[in-house]
Structure 1
Amino acid sequence: MSKEERNINFMAARKPLGMLSIALVVISVILLVTRGLNLGLDFTGGTTIVVKSPVDVELSQTRADLAEAGFGDAVVQHYGSPKEVNIRVAPKDSVDADKIGYVVFDVLKAGNGDLELLKVEFVGPQVGDELRDESGTAMLLALGLMMLYVWFRFSNKFGVATVVALFHDVIVVLGLFSLLQWPFDLTVLAAVLALIGYSLNDSIVVADRIRDEFRNTRETDPVAIINGAVNQTMTRTINTSLTTLLVLVALFFFGGEVMKAFSEALIVGVLVGTYSSIYVVTNILFMMKVDKEDFLIPEPEELDETP
């Protein structure tokens, strides 16, 4: 369908969807304050055990053995080769921190007598707290730099609208992780930072088209102008989102436990980011009373050559 034929009135739903966005953000903030995030071992500290077997190790069986012994929250993954396994477990009140690694090794050795212990390391909660604080700082810094870029790339109104959309996406994704108590570790943090870049890119495509429409059309109604711009970018937005989601769904089903949380965060993020690039950005622009004067190119000043 050509852009001349497509004339979907996306802006007709902007007000109820704007209220939905506000509700989602408020609920997400309440969840983050009351329930918090289910922080993984990267942030809370714990013990890392590396073991080696003369044969390939089945991760599913290892997880089952650990769960039966009371370590159901252990993170298990191959470590360089299928014969080596890295296990991370959270601290337990019933086991001394300096002994928990050997307890885990004894559990695994009971099912595989040829298992060899390569390494046991304990990471205290203080390191996790520092990592959590530095991760939050990195996220805020990324959002701030994005705002500066958009501010200079377009105008101050677009800068505000785009950054509000970015905050909206991050808070809603974190709120869902809080609601469902999905584990939040460094892999998920990487997904959130990737989401910031994805959402910004999508918002810039829409913003660029809106700016061109304000400058080139004879239409004076901002609602009609923005609606036309969204129609023109919709094919690109859908194609980009669908191709990204195909990769993420493949990672979710075939990437193993390590990539599951990463793909979950980005699947939700892509859906929320696609929505926000249309309805959150445009609603903020309407609130700031965007009009054609915001996009006028200033006339170059003529120099008076008279001495």
Structure 2
Amino acid sequence: MSTETKGFWPLIKIIPIKTNFRLMRFAKPFAIVSLILCIASLVITVYPLKPPCGGLNCGVDFKGGTLMEISTGKAIDQKRLVDVIQSHDVNDVLVQGIGQPNATGGFTSANIRFMTPESANPAQKVTEIQNALTRELGPTKFTRTEVVGPSISGELFGKGLLALALGIGMMMTYIWFRFGRSFGVGAAVALLHDVILTFGLFALTDMEFTLTAVAAILTIIGYSVNDTIVVLDRIRENLRKYKKMPMQELLDLSINETFSRTIMTGVTGLMALTVLAVFGGEALFGFSVAMIFGIVVGTFSSFFLAAPMLMWLGVVRGDEEAEVQVLGPASRA
């Protein structure tokens, strides 16, 4: 390595390799805050008790209806557009500007959502409204049109919930067999914490909850479990090595030994997702924001929920000695 490289390298070591944080002293207050946030997230997610999504802002995937994306060469009067569409006997009309505003602060592109009455033909209603928008706005480009019927949306919603339930169940089963009761409970608590808070994020911000959101939550489940396993594996190794070390000190030691790896892994993911959120467009914005949030809460729960659960549950230390790998003759040569 050149002298110039050696002089530059320390400048990018934002997180030191060895840390000595005493995080377990903050575990109890953080756990209380997390419990309060989880309860609040559950409340705003299910309230009001209105099918199919309760407090979530269901997209066309789950709620049914029609979604259009239009683009024109001039600023769109969103209120006027709502009146035009409502005059064609449709319900729940929503017009939202997308993209970058022009010099006057208006939007030249917009998302349009509406519900077609059951007595009307959705395809005919789409054609009717497209003609009306062309008359109102002049030359208009319809870049996206989706029509989802009530039966299909209900089926998609059921399959989305089933996918989440199976994902959580399979992860918990793996954790239980991989780590046993005490470790398994800690990892399961961290996993549920991350999933519930992500639902709360969608309910609080009113972001559209679609199949893309389900994909984001499933990805968060995988990331959260992976992050937690790294910490728990190190704790289990240290339980074999330091049989007389107080549990709180051992947990702090284990977290500090994995701290740099965990933080830097999360930071690299955050950088990629931030770019995706900024430049990925409206379709990927919700996915990116949910993933950013999931990485942050997943890292938090690995340190402040999964690890201290071992201390609170009173994990039983095994009698085995620290594992020592004996090298064969070929390895010693």
TM-score where L is the length of structure 2: 0.74
Shift of 1:286: 2.2
The question of whether the paired residues in 1 share the 8 Å contact of 2:217 and 2:290 is answered with: yes
1:8 aligns with 2:24: no
Which amino acid in structure 2 is aligned with residue 90 of structure 1? F
TM-score where L is the length of structure 1: 0.80
1:172-200 CA-to-partner distances (Å, cap 9, x unmatched) read 11112112211111111111111000111
What is the aligned partner in structure 2 of residue 136 from structure 1? 161
1:232 aligns with 2:244: no
Instruction: Compare 65-74 and 283-292 and name the one that shifted more.
Output: 65-74
Provide the alpha-carbon RMSD of the alignment: 3.2
Which amino acid in structure 1 is aligned with residue 63 of structure 2? T
Which amino acid in structure 2 is aligned with residue 27 of structure 1? A
Q: Percent identity?
A: 35
Cα distance change of structure 1 residues 220 and 113 upon mapping to structure 2, 3 Å threshold: closer
Instruction: Compare 15-24 and 104-113 and name the one that shifted more.
Output: 104-113
In the alignment, the residues of structure 2 paired with residue 144 and residue 294 of structure 1 have an alpha-carbon distance, to the nearest angstrom, of: 31
In the alignment, the residues of structure 1 paired with residue 144 and residue 268 of structure 2 have an alpha-carbon distance, to the nearest angstrom, of: 41
1:41 aligns with 2:67: no
Matching residue within 155, 162, 181 for 2:206: 181
Shift of 1:127: 1.8
The question of whether the paired residues in 1 share the 8 Å contact of 2:251 and 2:308 is answered with: no
The question of whether the paired residues in 1 share the 8 Å contact of 2:64 and 2:153 is answered with: yes
What is the aligned partner in structure 2 of residue 89 from structure 1? 113
Shift of 1:291: 3.5
In the alignment, the residues of structure 2 paired with residue 171 and residue 119 of structure 1 have an alpha-carbon distance, to the nearest angstrom, of: 32
What is the aligned partner in structure 1 of residue 174 from structure 2? 149
In the alignment, the residues of structure 2 paired with residue 181 and residue 156 of structure 1 have an alpha-carbon distance, to the nearest angstrom, of: 37
In the alignment, the residues of structure 2 paired with residue 138 and residue 246 of structure 1 have an alpha-carbon distance, to the nearest angstrom, of: 28
Shift of 1:34: 1.6
Tell me which stretches of 4 or more aligned residues in structure 1 moved more than 6 Å.
74-77, 85-88, 117-121, 294-297
What is the aligned partner in structure 1 of residue 310 from structure 2? 285
1:56-205 alignment, distance < 5 Å: 64=76, 68-70=80-82, 72-73=94-95, 89-91=113-115, 96=120, 98=122, 99-110=124-135, 111-113=137-139, 122-205=147-230
In the alignment, the residues of structure 2 paired with residue 204 and residue 130 of structure 1 have an alpha-carbon distance, to the nearest angstrom, of: 34
In the alignment, the residues of structure 1 paired with residue 223 and residue 259 of structure 2 have an alpha-carbon distance, to the nearest angstrom, of: 16
The question of whether the paired residues in 1 share the 8 Å contact of 2:94 and 2:112 is answered with: no
What is the number of equivalent residue pairs in this alignment?
281
1:205-224 alignment, distance < 5 Å: 205-224=230-249
In the alignment, the residues of structure 1 paired with residue 147 and residue 222 of structure 2 have an alpha-carbon distance, to the nearest angstrom, of: 34
Runs of 5+ unmatched residues, structure 1: 52-56, 78-84, 298-307
Which amino acid in structure 1 is aligned with residue 113 of structure 2? V
In the alignment, the residues of structure 2 paired with residue 44 and residue 171 of structure 1 have an alpha-carbon distance, to the nearest angstrom, of: 21
Per the alignment, in what secondary structure is the counterpart of residue 90 of structure 1? strand
The question of whether the paired residues in 2 share the 8 Å contact of 1:219 and 1:225 is answered with: no
What is the aligned partner in structure 1 of residue 87 from structure 2? none
Which amino acid in structure 1 is aligned with residue 208 of structure 2? P
What is the aligned partner in structure 2 of residue 54 from structure 1? none
Which amino acid in structure 1 is aligned with residue 33 of structure 2? L
Cα distance change of structure 1 residues 24 and 121 upon mapping to structure 2, 3 Å threshold: closer
